[in-house]
Amino acid sequence: MTPLKNKSPVFAGFIALLAFLAGPVFPALAAPSVDYPIVKLRSLDKISARTAVFEAEVGSTLKFGKVYIKVQACRKTPELEQPESAAFLQIWEAPPEKSEKTQSEWIFSGWMFASSPALSAMDHPIYDVWVLDCLEAKGQVPAADLAGQKTDEGELPQSAAPLQPDIETENLAD
């Protein structure tokens, strides 16, 4: 068996190479983020191919089709850092009024990233939701984005949203 001290120069060189290559990566991951009060989301109904763009305040609840979206946080990196916007969303589907189910069901709960929508995507057969940006104030959403939007969709008062499902600590690790 070869003594360890004969391998140490190779091992030290390997560690130095890893540190050199990883150096630029880790500061980007640890970049500070700034909380913003508004999130800009896009949603898609896969059956009708209808899309909508929403701007909502953090803490508010949105409705798109049969799903409800609660915005818990929206963070963005400073201008001089690599651009990244992320929002913590909780998305659930309320049971139809004529259904035997009485409990809402979680569809998604977690961070979504604007630059990598597939990294933490919502898995639903009918609806897709993804983050576009975090904003300081509500802007003008283009009329084309609102054209197909139904009258009962968009930001809701808290009293109009159905109750969120109970949190099951077993399923949150998924």
Kind of pairing, strands 154-156 and 61-64? antiparallel
Is there a contact between 146 and 54 (Cβ–Cβ < 8 Å)?
no
Q: What pLDDT sits at residue 137?
A: 87
- Within 10 Å of residue 5's Cβ, how many Cβ atoms? 7
Q: What pLDDT sits at residue 94?
A: 84
Q: What pLDDT sits at residue 104?
A: 85
Res 118 pLDDT > 80 = yes
Res 71 pLDDT > 90 = yes
Q: What pLDDT sits at residue 96?
A: 77
Higher pLDDT: 33 or 141? It is: 33
Q: What is the DSSP letter of 3?
A: -
Across 13-35, average pLDDT? 57
Q: Give the residue extent of every domain in the chain.
A: 33-165
Element of type H or E holding 67: strand 67-76
Across 142-164, average pLDDT? 60
Res 57 pLDDT > 80 = yes
Across 13-39, average pLDDT? 63
Confidence of residue 8 (pLDDT cuts 50, 70, 90): low
Average pLDDT, the chain: 77
Residues near 82 by Cβ (< 8 Å), separated by ≥ 6?
28, 31
Res 66 pLDDT > 80 = yes
